[in-house]
Structure 1
Amino acid sequence: MMTSIQYVRTFLRCVLVMLVLSPLALFAAQPLDINTATADQIAAVMSGVGDKKAHAIVAYRSENGPFKSLDQLTEVKGLGDALVERNKAFIQIVEPPMVDAKE
């Protein structure tokens, strides 16, 4: 049987863990913009993508311009349909804001 002190300690540990992990949950809630992410960020977020494939994504983007769709990732050597499909929840393409030419 737990004493009241043990309950309080357990409760405080749970609160501490939630406080420590909550910023990570906020980061994970927002998909990664594949057009602005670094190779390190891509490797950290995308399942099945290590440093080599992440650098290939960045190199492709540098040579060909920003990705217009997530399916375009399959044009990067080493990335297939299944890998892209598996990661669609974790990545996105953010359209840059339109600049009004009249201003």
Structure 2
Amino acid sequence: MKKLGITSLSLALALSTLPVMLQAAPNATSSVATTAPAPATAASKNTGPQVKKEQVAVTDEGTVSINTATAEEFASVMNGVGMKKAQAIVSYREELGKFTDIEQLREVPGIGAALFERNRDRLKL
């Protein structure tokens, strides 16, 4: 008999809170406010001649151009390369000119064979 009383009490409590829960829950059939795209402004329209942007150093595939990347880009894309090694790559490039082959990256102090091989697929000229 005691079990029946607890069960009945629990059921009554659950049913008494049901109307409150239904009011708080969003109605599935109600319309959801949508936002319209902002109208184009004169600044966002292409009205003049197209200016060619500088080549992007980091691509969507997660590769980095060793000839145009910044130290921050090297550090964010390359595995095992922090800001110190990334700055060494940029300094090497500034002193000796652009790389002509990806393998030349191994000549940078601090970039060993293992580090180069680990990141080979993330590098491009």
TM-score in terms of structure 2 length: 0.51
1:71 alignment counterpart: 103
Letter of the aligned partner of 2:121 in structure 1? A
Gaps of 5+ in 1: 1-26, 94-103
Correspondence list, 1:1-103, <5 A: 27-93=59-125
| Conserved? CA contact 2:64–2:77, under 8 Å | yes
1:84 is paired with a residue of what secondary structure? helix
- Structure (1/2) with the larger helix percentage: 1
| Conserved? CA contact 1:70–1:84, under 8 Å | no
Letter of the aligned partner of 1:89 in structure 2? D
Paired residues in the alignment total 67
Gaps of 5+ in 2: 1-58
Q: Over alpha carbons, which structure has the higher Rg?
A: 2
CA distance in 1, matches of 2:60, 2:74: 13
The two structures, once aligned, show a CA RMSD in angstroms of 1.2
1:62 is paired with a residue of what secondary structure? helix
1:89 is paired with a residue of what secondary structure? helix
CA distance in 2, matches of 1:30, 1:82: 19
TM-score in terms of structure 1 length: 0.61
Name whichever of 29-38 and 40-49 sits farther off. 29-38
CA distance in 2, matches of 1:67, 1:82: 19
CA distance in 1, matches of 2:117, 2:99: 15
